[in-house]
Amino acid sequence: MHRLFIAILRVGVVAAILIGLFGQIVVIPTTASDEVDRFPPYAPFAAPYVTVAIVGVACVQVALVAVWMLLSMVRRDAIFTPRAFRWVDVVIGSSVVATLLAVGVSGHLALAEIPSPDDGMDVVGALGAAIVTAGAGAAFAMLVVLMRSLLRKATELKSEMAQVV
């Protein structure tokens, strides 16, 4: 892969990690605080949901660090080695954890009695978003598992070719 592409991808990874960090430190807590100020009955739900949101963003950041490491392996032409599987497994693990968080939030929103201003559409919208997020997370995890199997096959073929040559 061309070094320029790797450099551009790395800039994107760093930017995404920094934006996530800003979200964890500023956006998520501030938004939760504003919602509690707007509708005080949300107060008991603020801390748990803020925690889940921050952990969810951390899962994405962990996956991005793994992508950084995989990009380093591509640059060194070492991607078809057993060591790459560790980083792919980190991406899979972090996406599964984030998906489970979204499933948990979906379950809580669906089953808990959460007060809502006006007509309850805030909770319905949040439930819809959580379900879509859980579905997207599950699809992403399955895609990465599939890509891992392709990486395994390519690694085996490269190993066989090295033995022949």
How many residues are there in the chain? 165
* Residue 153 to residue 165: CA distance in whole angstroms: 18
- Assess contact for 144 and 88: CB atoms under 8 A: yes
What is the Cβ-side half-sphere exposure of residue 61, based on CA atoms within 13 angstroms?
A: 16
| Mean pLDDT, the chain, whole residue set | 93
Amino acid 120: pLDDT: 67
**What pLDDT digit, counting tens, does each position of 33-75 carry?**
999 999 898 899 999 999 999 999 999 999 999 999 999 999 8
Spatial distance between the Cα atoms of 78 and 36, rounded to a whole number of angstroms:
50
pLDDT at 77: 87
Give yes or no for a contact between 111 and 142, defined as CB atoms under 8 angstroms apart.
Answer: no
pLDDT band for 117, please (50, 70, 90 cuts): confident
